Amino acid sequence: MKLNRIYGFMLSALMLSACTAQTPVQDTAAETTAETDTTVDVLSLEAEKTEAPVISDTFSDESFNAEKRGTVILRYTEDDAAADKGALRIFNRNNSWDGAQYNADKFRGNELEAEGSFRSTNPNVRISIQYTVNDNTTYNTIATVNTKEASYSKGSGKYIVPKNAENIIVYVESDNLEDIYIDDFSVRVCGEYTYYPEAVATEFVDTSNYPSLKEEYKDYFRIGTATSPNLLKKEPYAELIKAQYNSMTMGNSFKPDSILDHNKSVRDIEKYMYSPAVKFDAVKTELDFARDNGLTVRGHTLVWYSQTPEWLFYKNYDIGGELADRETMLARMENYIKNVMEWTEENYPGLVRAWDVVNEAADDGGGMRKSLWYKTIGEDYIEQAFMFARKYAPEDTKLFYNDYNSYQTRKQNDIITFLRPVAEAGNIDGIGMQSHINVNINITQYMTALQKYYDELGLEINVTELDVCRGKGDNWQKEQGDYFKRFMSELIELRKKGLPITSVTLWGISDTDSWIASDYPLIFNDDLSRKPAFDGMIEAVNSQE
């Protein structure tokens, strides 16, 4: 391993490309990263690797490099709308991530630019990147391209791939499941190319001497983090989490797509028609960790339009057929909430302190999002969800509505409007402010919004998914640190004035395991060294009288 790493540096080739065209590489297949004898074949490695890699598909004939992702079929298609009359058609898509993909391991440690032309009846198509760092896989968007049905739209974006990334895959996907047509697609290196034959292992720093967020903030609110099972298995992460946090939220494993069991549900449709089968294997590692280490859990999330399999909304769970009717969907919703809450309470009594019952129901364009929950049940689906949640939740469990950009005036007004009847019925306890923000977001506006939720609905507040995307300048670390300090200071101020803000959860631990890693939005660097953002949080609380 080590040898290989040294050769990697020796063989680094500096190539100027500035994202411009180079000779297409025919074979983009995965390199062997297995633990084989690393001393062999160095010369041929050198000969092969001095050029910056290029992925390029023009789809002008049957031969292309794209590989299928998920259940899809990829087929060369003659297409008059395409520049060279040829395109790739991606069909038989069953999940948002189903599409076309390319191995991009050779781009490790470099900035890349991906570009493509697409058409689709889906409103947009994404160029995304997936990779694994420290056994944790993240998925990021490189570019979102708004698409039309009849003509091609071109889009591109840049992305810095971390040096410690493995299994790097660039792919094309779309939230909607219609076909996607690709005309041209390419991925190139921006600037100088350095070749890293394998992921550079992260050397974690000693974090045991850091001041503890949960201790420092104990008079104000719980401090939480989003987790994934793999990160908890890493000692440096586990130690840091135990020292710093007293609350956690599963980043993915409590979501419907992780809990719902399609195979079981369709195998015995009579039995599961109104009560979809559930499985809890994926969430146990994190629940065990929380229980064993004295953290409480925010359960995230029960009723959401995303990360919820589409089959749930169909008659007989068959997406080839019709949407299920209101009564069926109400029964499925009730039973899902019941089963998840009852299993959790039975196996981990008292551990889940709060549930995000409904997530992201407000539409960015105003009003309620026209999700499949909305379409099948109707406008009162939020009220129904909270009614069921109240019915099955243990007495001390708090019920939350959670959303992003919910400090923005119009969105806030919409949320207050649809939550009012829920609050009047006494079925909601809190507002979750996701808070995926950036250093230019007006903190005063944000704090005013918190006060308004309290004044209008009388609800408790949790900051549930805080991350603060960095600014553009060279001084971004300090700027972000100052932002964290001001943000936390003002939260404390409001708390002191009596606003019931009870927890602040960061959406991940280090920048590399963030879901928006390229924005460096968190408080630890990838070796777990502290960023000015962490220090800003500590200073905010230390400067209190």
CB of 75 to ligand XIL, least distance (A): 28
CB of 228 to ligand XIL, least distance (A): 7
CB of 432 to ligand XIL, least distance (A): 9
Partners of residue 187 on adjacent β-strands = 55, 114
| From candidates 59, 131, 454, 515, binder to ligand XIL by CB under 6 A | 515
Write out the binding residues for ligand XIL, residues 45-84 only, by CB under 6 A.
none
* CB nearer to ligand XIL: pick between 302 and 537: 302
CB of 139 to ligand XIL, least distance (A): 5
> Dihedrals φ, ψ of 289, to 5°?
-60, -45
DSSP 8-state symbol, 30 = P
Of the listed 115, 173, 360, 479, which one is catalytic? 360
Asked if 432 touches ligand XIL (CB under 6 A), the answer is no
Q: What is the 3-state secondary structure (H, E, C) of 99-132?
A: EEEEECHHHCCCEEEEEEEEEECCCEEEEEEEEE
Helices (H), 11-129: 42-49
| From candidates 139, 274, 305, 392, binder to ligand XIL by CB under 6 A | 139
| From candidates 53, 116, 236, 251, binder to ligand XIL by CB under 6 A | 251
Window 457-486: contact mask with ligand XIL (x via CB under 6 A): --------x---------------------
Window 314-353: contact mask with ligand XIL (x via CB under 6 A): ----------------------------------------
Window 365-404: contact mask with ligand XIL (x via CB under 6 A): ---------------------------------------x
Write out the binding residues for ligand XIL, residues 196-215 only, by CB under 6 A.
none
| From candidates 134, 136, 202, 434, binder to ligand XIL by CB under 6 A | 434
> Dihedrals φ, ψ of 429, to 5°?
-115, -25
CB under 8 Å, gap of 24 or more: what pairs does 451-455 form? 451/494, 451/499, 452/412, 452/416, 453/412, 453/416, 454/499, 454/500
CA angle 310, 312, 313 (to 5 degrees): 75
* 360 noted as active-site residue: yes
Burial class from Cβ neighbours inside 10 Å (0-12, 13-18, 19+) for residue 135 reads middle
Contacts (Cβ under 8 Å, ≥6 apart) of 521: 436, 438, 467, 468, 469, 470, 507, 511, 514
Write out the binding residues for ligand XIL, residues 347-366 only, by CB under 6 A.
359
| From candidates 225, 252, 376, 518, binder to ligand XIL by CB under 6 A | 252
Query: What is d(CA 324, CA 327) in angstroms, rounded to the nearest whole number?
Result: 8
CB of 407 to ligand XIL, least distance (A): 15
First CA to last CA distance, the chain? 52
Report how far Cα 379 is from the mean position of its chain's Cα atoms.
27
* CB nearer to ligand XIL: pick between 55 and 312: 312
CB of 205 to ligand XIL, least distance (A): 24
CB of 182 to ligand XIL, least distance (A): 23
Q: Which residue is nearest to ligand XIL (CB)?
A: 515
* CB nearer to ligand XIL: pick between 465 and 511: 465
Of the listed 115, 460, 465, 479, which one is catalytic? 465
* CB nearer to ligand XIL: pick between 272 and 373: 373
* CB nearer to ligand XIL: pick between 175 and 456: 175
CB of 414 to ligand XIL, least distance (A): 17
Query: What is d(CA 32, CA 42) in angstroms, rounded to the nearest whole number?
Result: 14
Partners of residue 224 on adjacent β-strands = 247, 505
Contacts (Cβ under 8 Å, ≥6 apart) of 40: none
* CB nearer to ligand XIL: pick between 323 and 441: 441
* CB nearer to ligand XIL: pick between 515 and 520: 515
* 465 noted as active-site residue: yes
Contacts (Cβ under 8 Å, ≥6 apart) of 332: 274, 275, 276, 312, 324
* CB nearer to ligand XIL: pick between 164 and 328: 164
Q: Three-state SS for 18?
A: coil
Query: What is d(CA 501, CA 222) in angstroms, rounded to the nearest whole number?
Result: 9
Query: What is d(CA 362, CA 371) in angstroms, rounded to the nearest whole number?
Result: 10
> Dihedrals φ, ψ of 533, to 5°?
-60, -40
CB of 255 to ligand XIL, least distance (A): 7
CB of 249 to ligand XIL, least distance (A): 8
Residues contacting ligand XIL: total by CB under 6 A: 8
Element (H, E) at 440: none
Nearest to 531 by CA among 476, 463, 466: 476
Query: What is d(CA 483, CA 54) in angstroms, rounded to the nearest whole number?
Result: 39
Q: Three-state SS for 141?
A: strand
* CB nearer to ligand XIL: pick between 55 and 522: 522
Q: What is the 3-state secondary structure (H, E, C) of 161-180?
A: CCCCCEEEEEEEECCCCCCE
* CB nearer to ligand XIL: pick between 289 and 404: 404
What does the block give as tokens for 537?
Answer: 């949080």
Task: Name the residues that contact ligand XIL, by CB under 6 A.
Answer: 139, 251-252, 359, 404, 434, 465, 515
Give catalytic residue positions.
360, 465
